[in-house]
Structure formats: structure tokens, C-alpha cells
Amino acid sequence: MSSYLNNPLEVQLHNRTSKWIFSCPFCATSERTEARRNHRKAALLWNDKQHSWVFCCAKRGSTECQKNKSFPNLIQALNSSLFMEYQSERFHSGTTGKGHNCSHPAWYYLNKNEELLQFNEYSKAQSNLFQEVSTEN
């Protein structure tokens, strides 16, 4: 985690959960001094309703951190190739798509569209065959 987040620290909260605080990867680079760049303004907080981590930045100094992000969206903003690996792992564990906070991988839709096209071609062939049989009688 420290390779993507600068100066991470796990903090225990009063309700027996924890949060991770760190320098915001989006707006910390705009700070003038090293001390300000290392100041921990962002956090990953556990959301019980979504059963997922949520990224929050207290400063909101960049367009990327003005709104809270789900954990998959944070990974996608930081490193797209890591996000694709994460998304693929989530897909194979059955936790992507409707009802989850991570969409299906792009290749899932490509395969689904190919299967849909094959089904449509099969349906057209069946209907043409049915029309030929009905016109012969």
C-alpha cells in the first residue's frame, strides 16, 4: 500500500474499527513544502452499508479528490493496470456488476455482445428456416 499512498498510518477508532490516513495522492503534490506534502489529509474509511472502503480527502484541493471515491474508483484513478487486475479478481470471485461497487471488466461486455450477436444470428436463421417451411406448405 505504501507504494501508492504516501505516509500511510492505520488508526484505531473508538467503535473498534480502523481507518487508514495518508497524504492525498491527488492534491498533496500541489503543496509548496515537503512538510505540507506529507501531512495526512486523506483517509480510507470503512463503510458498513456498502461493505467497502471509501476514500475521503479533508482538503479537497484537486478535482480528483473533491468527492468521496469507492475503493475501486480510487485504484482506477491511481493505477489503471492495477485496477484491471483488481476488477478481474473481483469478477472471478463473483463480486462485480449489479449490486456491487465494482463494474464487470470490459472483456465481459465484449464476450457478452459476441454471444448476443451469435444468438441473434441463430434466431434469424431459425426464423428464415421457419418462413421457408411455412411458404412451402
All three cell numbers of 32, joined, read: 509548496
pLDDT at 31: 79
- Structural domain containing residue 67: 6-78
pLDDT in tens, the chain (137 residues): 556 677 788 898 887 788 999 999 898 877 778 787 778 889 999 988 888 899 999 988 888 889 999 999 999 998 988 988 989 898 888 888 888 888 888 777 766 655 544 545 545 555 554 555 555 55
Q: Is 5 exposed, middle or buried (0-12, 13-18, 19+ CB in 10 A)?
A: buried
- 87 part of a folded domain: no
Do residue 121 and residue 67 come from a single domain? no
**Which residue in 50, 99, 103, 46 sits closest to 72, CA to CA?**
103
- 12 part of a folded domain: yes
pLDDT at 44: 93
pLDDT at 57: 93
pLDDT at 122: 47
- 24 part of a folded domain: yes
pLDDT at 35: 80
Do residue 69 and residue 16 come from a single domain? yes
- 84 part of a folded domain: no
Q: Is 12 exposed, middle or buried (0-12, 13-18, 19+ CB in 10 A)?
A: exposed
Q: What is the pTM of this model?
A: 0.68
pLDDT at 119: 46
All three cell numbers of 42, joined, read: 486523506
How many domains is the chain partitioned into structurally?
Answer: 2
Do residue 58 and residue 17 come from a single domain? yes
Q: Is 62 exposed, middle or buried (0-12, 13-18, 19+ CB in 10 A)?
A: middle
- What lies within 8 Å, CB to CB, of 64 at 6+ separation is 26, 27, 77
User: In Å, how far from its chain's centre is CA 128?
Assistant: 44
